[in-house]
Structure 1
Amino acid sequence: MHRARRRFGQNFLHDRQVIQQMVMAIAPRAEEAFLEVGPGHGALTRPLLDHAARLTAIEVDRDLVATLRHWDAAHTGQLRVIEADALAEPIQPLIDAAGQPLRIVGNLPYNLSTPLLFHLSAFTHGIRDLHLLLQREVVDRMAAGPGSRVYGRLSVMIQARCRIEPLFEVPPGAFSPPPTITSRFVRLIPHTHPPLGDTDGECLARVVAAAFAQRRKTLRNALRGLLDATAIRDAGIDPTTRAEQIDLAGYGRLADTLQTQQDTQ
């Protein structure tokens, strides 16, 4: 039996009742195309294939890849296995190859969940939805609003891209080895009409990253080098406020101000 490797952040889901609950929430159909990140022992892979869905699985652990490729041979044309680090694997070619909006599923490794969320959610135009198993605290951060102690960069950037639907909690005992924290299954649905409209994504990312880099600083100080106090006021925001006090729309205005500033330089 394959042993979990700490460097890959592996906690393998094994609870059949939880797996069934996840599959019911995903509601796969035969004509759909899926991308599974970190299939591990195939707890989700098997039931998705049972629904005759087309699935591409990205797995970094070569020993697990070997097992999955046996399944690949048995499900010709239905399963494709890629041995790769999901963070380094380009998503757009997989979207293009699917020929339809891609559905993403995964039990994300806890040590890489945040960077993977940024990576996967950056391609919202070609993604129908994402069903992900994450640390409960990460889901709380994604869904947090201004003023919350867990509201931060992840909250703003994910909310700008997707609607967040926390579904249900998964206890440590559902995994092997059991983690020390509770997990939560969450659905992310890319916005059909983004709440920030045509706001430039790169400008938004720069403003949000700078604002939350040192949370205790006022925006006047945190955004120094990007926007001065006058520009912050022009965005309708008091420069003496702190990052956690600004809502999504406010960050959109700051990003638009930065874009205008760059266009006039």
Structure 2
Amino acid sequence: MSRAKTHGKPSYSASGHQHKKQFGQNFLNNDSIIRQIVHAIHPQADQHLVEIGPGEAALTTPLVQQVKRLDIIEIDRDLHQPLRDKLGHYPAFALHQADALRFDYAQLATDDKPLRLVGNLPYNISSPLIFHLLNFLPHIADMHFMLQKEVVERLTATPGKKSFGRLSVMVQYFCQAELLFIVGPENFEPPPKVDSAIVRLTPHQPLPYQADNFEDFSALVKQSFAMKRKTLRNNLKGWLNDDDFNTCGIEPSLRAEALGVADFVTLANHYSHHYTQKQKDT
């Protein structure tokens, strides 16, 4: 499992691997935490798991022994041979040298088993990676990730909280997001400077609220949070007017953080029906 950026002199793992800042490498080294994560994942013998950033296989080792297939996405070539040496004899083991941000996860869904994704995601790519993974949800059963605690709080935030923002809305549109437990810096080598947390993301089946035009929905959510201290009326000027807000039953003087996913879907669907369609007709 690889981790967040740290500062200072180069550091090395117990096996001699130099941690690389560009890959956000901090390796989990607490067996008790590893067991807790595996318990949360609850892998089954017939399941197909995908691990992003296995590092030195702290989590990979217990998982590969329990599942039908474990695909590993690792960008650092220096870790490939140690991973093969350690785990290559397991039938479930499959290693991919790839950038997780560009990888096509659909290619792994070769049987009738949905993918279960796990990983300890580097802080510097966690948000863009999650947005990338949202494109593959038809193939995904669930995701268990170790992230910076602050990011997990954003993923799981409810309307009205300061941490509630665009990431909260977009992920919660697709998934149920749960903060499972917090992991302190002392459980990593080298220790990051902030707390981490485990999040479980479970895709909704079906979606509780359906945007009629997802591009409109995504763009409207982004624009709504463009300036967090401004009201919806100001952020969505040129998109919706007060009559539109009244029709949707939403007060335009509110800030975006006060709205739930259903409210954003309502606004986006109104925009799609009354403005996008008109643009197509003209």
Shared topology, TM-score over 0.5? yes
Question: Residues 231-250 of structure 1 correspond to what in structure 2 (within 5 A)?
Answer: 231-250=244-263
> Is 1:203 paired with 2:216?
yes
Residue equivalent to 1:133? 146
Q: Secondary structure at the match of 2:155?
A: helix
Residue equivalent to 1:32? 47
Q: Secondary structure at the match of 2:225?
A: helix
Residue equivalent to 1:88? 102
CA RMSD of aligned residues (A): 1.7
Q: What is the alpha-carbon distance in structure 2 between the residues aligned to residue 198 and residue 222 of structure 1?
A: 20
Deviations 1:204-251 (A, max 9, x none): 211111111211222222123433443333322222221111111110
Deviations 1:124-143 (A, max 9, x none): 22211111111111111111
* Cα distance change, pair 124–186 in 1 and its aligned pair in 2 (3 A): same
Q: Secondary structure at the match of 1:220?
A: helix
The structural deviation recorded for 1:52 is: 3.6
Q: Which of 86, 93, 105 lines up with 1:79 in the alignment?
A: 93
Q: Secondary structure at the match of 2:58?
A: coil
Q: Which of 181, 184, 203 lines up with 2:194 in the alignment?
A: 181
Q: Which of 69, 92, 100 lines up with 2:113 in the alignment?
A: 100
> Is 1:256 paired with 2:269?
yes
Q: What is the alpha-carbon distance in structure 2 between the residues aligned to residue 113 and residue 138 of structure 1?
A: 8
Q: What is the alpha-carbon distance in structure 2 between the residues aligned to residue 40 and residue 201 of structure 1?
A: 36
Q: What is the alpha-carbon distance in structure 2 between the residues aligned to residue 20 and residue 176 of structure 1?
A: 17
Structure 2 segments unaligned to the other structure (5+ residues): 1-15
Q: Tell me if structure 2 keeps the 8 A contact 1:33–1:98.
A: no
Residue equivalent to 2:34? 19
Q: What is the alpha-carbon distance in structure 2 between the residues aligned to residue 152 and residue 26 of structure 1?
A: 27
Deviations 1:100-153 (A, max 9, x none): 211000000011111112222332222111111111111111111111111101
Greater shift, 154-163 or 240-249, is seen at 240-249
Q: What is the alpha-carbon distance in structure 1 between the residues aligned to residue 39 and residue 259 of structure 2?
A: 37
The structural deviation recorded for 1:198 is: 4.8
Q: Which of 128, 135, 138 lines up with 1:115 in the alignment?
A: 128
The structural deviation recorded for 1:51 is: 0.9
Question: Residues 148-163 of structure 1 correspond to what in structure 2 (within 5 A)?
Answer: 148-163=161-176
Aligned residues: 263
Residue equivalent to 1:48? 63
Q: Tell me if structure 1 keeps the 8 A contact 2:211–2:268.
A: no
Deviations 1:13-52 (A, max 9, x none): 1111100111111111121001111111111111111114
* Cα distance change, pair 56–221 in 1 and its aligned pair in 2 (3 A): same
Q: Tell me if structure 1 keeps the 8 A contact 2:182–2:195.
A: yes
Q: What is the alpha-carbon distance in structure 1 between the residues aligned to residue 107 and residue 225 of structure 2?
A: 32
Q: Tell me if structure 2 keeps the 8 A contact 1:38–1:107.
A: yes
